[in-house]
Structure 1
Amino acid sequence: MKHFGAEAGHEVLPWQATAERIAQALAHTAVERDQRGGTPKTERDLLRDSGLLMLSVPAEFGGLGASWRQTLDVVRGFARVDSSVAHLFAFHHLLLATTWLFARRAQWQPWIEQTGERRWFWGNALNPLDKSTRAQAVPGGYAFSGHKSFCSGASDSDMLLASALDADDRLLIGVVPTRRAGIAVLDDWDNIGQRQTDSGSVRLDAVHVGADELLLDPGPLSTPFACLRPLLAQLILANIYLGLGEGALAEAASFTRQQGRPWLFSSAPSANEDPYVLSHYGDFWLALQGARLLLDHAGAAFDQAWLRGEALDESERGQVAVAVAAAKVASTRASLEVAHRMFEVTGARATTAALRLDRYWRNLRVHTLHDPVDYKLRELGDWALNARLPQPSFYS
């Protein structure tokens, strides 16, 4: 298996070797766990023990100091074999980054440092589309009450990001321990794909969120730098999608070489020499290669923007948004195409339930519905035709 983030002629870093070892462990049980669903407790603990939950954190705060592009390379590598655990791992880093982007240093630094010291795994109960969750002012902070959906990674998490709307419909985001009184993580995720992301519901019943736990300074999407948060989320999704497409291609190629049979009317001596099969694989590789190049470009642009910090301006942020949108659309299209059409080059024998090769399509189909590609295309069209950069939101 390829070293994550390693370049030819460069030394493999210890965390890259660790990521490779974990990916191999994930691959060994991925099929069985896809069938079972539920919380991947063993795999989450493997990540806790590995130190990779601090991968994106700078060394000065106890982290491994990887760039975002390097971190996303690991996400993509995990997604090739297990997109559910890749999702959980990536969202953990997204949530850490959210505290960095939306809060002041006096808040986020202790949370990030304790993540390393206590091996915290972060979970999500933020979904800003759940507008029925309300925040009532109480002494010392707010009480959050309501029902949050698509709470990926909340099960078996140590810390949660939760959101609610106050009396003025202002979005409040708080950081709370998952085991705080009033929080109920529900076991109600049973979708066709991403079956081990625990992306079900969280019920909040007058959960106390202290004033020092609210991310108000500078706050959500308040500055161009803070507006990098949705772009990181979109980059994560695109890397998971591309990883799934690459995993599907690798599985299909292995099956074709080892078990494929030429069609009755083929003159080829083997399936891997059939001209039509080769043509399909050419299409697959080309589509994924194009998405990969766009995604690597977007990742590099994001890293440059991140290093700009509060000096980042709206135009610079907008240029990154265009790059990310292009990569998101390309990775979605290419990977769905490979995961759907891989059976044309593997044949009927590849549809046996024991292989569960359909998991690539199922995982992609569920995850690519996170937000409509049509709206990304509209943003790209507005840029191409009218030179208007995408406007920041929690989805762009």
Structure 2
Amino acid sequence: MSVATAPSGPAPESDRTGPGRAHWLRVAHETADDLATDAVAREQAGKTPFDEVSRLRESGLLTLLIPGELGGGGADWPTAYAVVRVIAAADGAIGQLLGCHYFLSYSARFFTEPSLAGRIEQRSAAEQWCWGGGFARQEPPLTLTRTATGYVLDGRQSYTSGVLVADRLAVRAVRADTGEPLAVVVDPVRDGVGVVGDTDTFGQRLAAGGSVEFDGVPVSADDVLGSLSADEDVLSPLTALASPVGRLNSVQLCLGMAEGVLAEAREYSRATHSPWHPDWPAGSSQDPQILTVYGELIVLTRAASALTDQAQEAVHGGLARRESLTYDEYAEISVLVAMAEAATSRAAQEATSRALDIVGARSASARLGFDRFWRNARTHTLYEPVAPRIRDVGDYFLNGAHPPFVLPA
């Protein structure tokens, strides 16, 4: 199997206008430090994250991917991924919420024509919208029925992120007459839209997931972004790139959570007694069992990070290729992202679980909050299982099969 990345190239001009990567990483670290100060208390309270979204809005991170000439931060996807990873290390749920927002707020560029996408992004920047919802296939689907003036949207579905705090919802619906799946944008305050916080998950409790009921909601032509069909007669390679672009957010989220728990466990280990040798001095750095566990987890996490870098470079190169991207190049990119998904999912689950062993019985204390890392990572990996992605990698290696067009939950 070839693992060459898609030909790289310069970022589109609109993606290079703005303060620059160093600025946004500094803002991300400042925001993450702010979130970390009360992460345990906020997670335990489990309140709808209006305050956290306000922090993201005030920092400018919500508009990061919107071109500078449209009022946004003018950053590119590598910068957005780095920001998600930094935020996820401090608060996995808010990292998920932000990554979902980035993908959905950018989605018009994949699914609709440039002038409409520009109008949507300009208004999103001006009003600093937070986006929620998702395009993953669910049964039964939402239905879109044509009327004399546009469409009406009906149905009920659950989403893992953003809907409780969203200024705009981006959802998947099928046309009642043709069955074609479409990407639709909905204002959540519109008549007929009901949002309910009923997910009740044991982790990612601040990701603002919930159910949305659509009861005869009017939808204009401009609210329908375009087709989500996987048929290659409809799906261009550039539009298909929406799949690995969106899934790479999950990769960054898992990697951030793994790095976050290891950093927090290290600080704890440096200040306390070994759980296996309590008679040793506090802060002893020579416990061989602890050193071995840290070594194994760092190797696992760094290996996942290296795969993530390859996948990210491939995604960025594919976006730079634009309309010249081929299906074979898209397949290469999607497979690289699938490998990164598998590696980071394992790293997140191993690191967040075994960090509890490093801390020992004290990790059962709710006051310390180490359990939140495991619960967040496990909840996310249940919603984004990697077994199908591993099969895609094997099918590509053995048979040369192109991975399916799968959008993140």
1:67-122 deviation digits (Å, cap 9, x = unpaired): 21111011000000101111111111101221110001121111101111111111
2:358 to 321, 345, 348: 345
Instruction: Please give the residue correspondences for 1:297-316 in structure 2 after superposition, counting only pairs within 5 Å.
Output: 297-316=310-329
How many residue pairs match? The answer is 385
2:95 is the counterpart of 1:82: no
Shift of 1:309: 1.2
Question: Which protein has greater RCO, CA pairs closer than 8 Å, 6+ apart?
Answer: 2
TM-score by length of 2: 0.89
1:284 to 297, 300, 306: 297
Aligned AA (2:369): R
1:346-391 deviation digits (Å, cap 9, x = unpaired): 1112221101201111011110122331111111111222233313
Q: In 2, are the aligned partners of 1:127 and 1:149 still within 8 Å (CA)?
A: no
Instruction: Please give the residue correspondences for 1:11-30 in structure 2 after superposition, counting only pairs within 5 Å.
Output: 13-30=22-39
Aligned AA (1:257): R
C-alpha distance in structure 1 between counterparts of 2:351 and 2:25, whole Å:
27
Q: Which residue of 2 aligns with 1:3?
A: none
C-alpha distance in structure 2 between counterparts of 1:132 and 1:316, whole Å:
31
2:187 is the counterpart of 1:177: yes
C-alpha distance in structure 2 between counterparts of 1:316 and 1:344, whole Å:
43
2:372 to 352, 359, 362: 359
The gaps in structure 1 that reach 5 residues or longer are: 1-10
TM-score by length of 1: 0.92
Q: Which stretch shows the higher mean deviation, 156-165 or 296-305?
A: 156-165
The gaps in structure 2 that reach 5 residues or longer are: 1-19
Q: In 1, are the aligned partners of 2:78 and 2:312 still within 8 Å (CA)?
A: yes
Gap change, CA 1:347 and 1:131, over 3 Å in 2: same
Aligned AA (1:253): R
Instruction: Please give the residue correspondences for 1:127-206 in structure 2 after superposition, counting only pairs within 5 Å.
Output: 127-167=136-176, 168-206=178-216
Gap change, CA 1:181 and 1:287, over 3 Å in 2: same
Q: Which residue of 1 aligns with 2:13?
A: none
C-alpha distance in structure 2 between counterparts of 1:337 and 1:77, whole Å:
19
Q: Which stretch shows the higher mean deviation, 156-165 or 182-191?
A: 156-165
1:173-232 deviation digits (Å, cap 9, x = unpaired): 21121211111111212100000112110010101111121112x655521111111212
Q: Which residue of 2 aligns with 1:5?
A: none
C-alpha distance in structure 1 between counterparts of 2:309 and 2:254, whole Å:
14
Q: Which residue of 1 aligns with 2:14?
A: none
Gap change, CA 1:190 and 1:346, over 3 Å in 2: same
1:222-259 deviation digits (Å, cap 9, x = unpaired): 21111111212210001101100111111111111111
Q: Which stretch shows the higher mean deviation, 251-260 or 235-244?
A: 251-260
2:122 to 96, 106, 113: 113
C-alpha distance in structure 2 between counterparts of 1:314 and 1:205, whole Å:
38
1:323-368 deviation digits (Å, cap 9, x = unpaired): 1011000000111011111122211122211012011110111101
C-alpha distance in structure 2 between counterparts of 1:96 and 1:176, whole Å:
12
Q: Which residue of 1 aligns with 2:272?
A: 259
Aligned AA (2:222): D
Over the residues paired in the alignment, what is the CA RMSD in angstroms?
A: 2.0
Q: Which stretch shows the higher mean deviation, 235-244 or 150-159?
A: 150-159
Gap change, CA 1:12 and 1:210, over 3 Å in 2: closer
**SS of alignment partner, residue 110 of structure 2:** helix
Structure 1 runs of 4+ aligned residues shifted over 6 Å read 265-269
Aligned AA (1:345): I
Shift of 1:59: 2.3
